[in-house]
Amino acid sequence: MAKIKILAGDIASAEYTVNINPQFGIMVLVRLGHPTLTVKIASAEQLTAEKVKGLAGTAGWGLAGAALLGPLGAIGGMLLGGNKTEISFLCKTKEGQSFMGITDGKVYQQIVAASMNKL
């Protein structure tokens, strides 16, 4: 499931599970124990992009490298594994709301695609 962490804006700051439909320009935000929010995306603007290294991914690639190539494979796996891009962005909705959030590169691409829909 795709995740977005909203940091500030008209939508409550929290971590949300998100479903995006680029065809209709709709984003559905789900937070456990709260009402589901459905918004139509008007625009999305990238603020920053950072490469981050996830501990679980690094450890997993290190173990896979060790199993295949021994100690050198473990070092190579740990250096190459667990990398992902974290993007902070500003999003405006057609309902007049705006918020700043953080997500990964794939989810941000879906948000931008949805913002280009003019339905």
Residue ranges per structural domain of the chain:
2-115
Instruction: Say what the pLDDT of residue 5 is.
Output: 94
Phi, psi of 12 (to 5 degrees): -55, 135
pLDDT tens digits, one per residue of 72-83 = 766 666 666 666
pLDDT on residue 18: 92
- With CA atoms as reference, report the closest residue to 108 among 82, 89, 84, 83: 89
Kindly list the distances between the CA atom of residue 66 and the CA atoms of 6, 55, 108, in Å, as whole numbers in the listed order.
38, 16, 33
Number of neighbouring beta carbons within 10 Å of residue 92: 18
Band (pLDDT 50/70/90 cuts) for residue 61 is low
Q: Where are the beta strands (DSSP E) in 13-82?
A: 14-21, 26-30, 37-53
CATH of domain 2-115: 2.30.29
Q: At residue 54, what are phi and psi to the nearest 5 degrees?
A: -85, 135
Residue 95 DSSP symbol: T
pTM of the model: 0.70
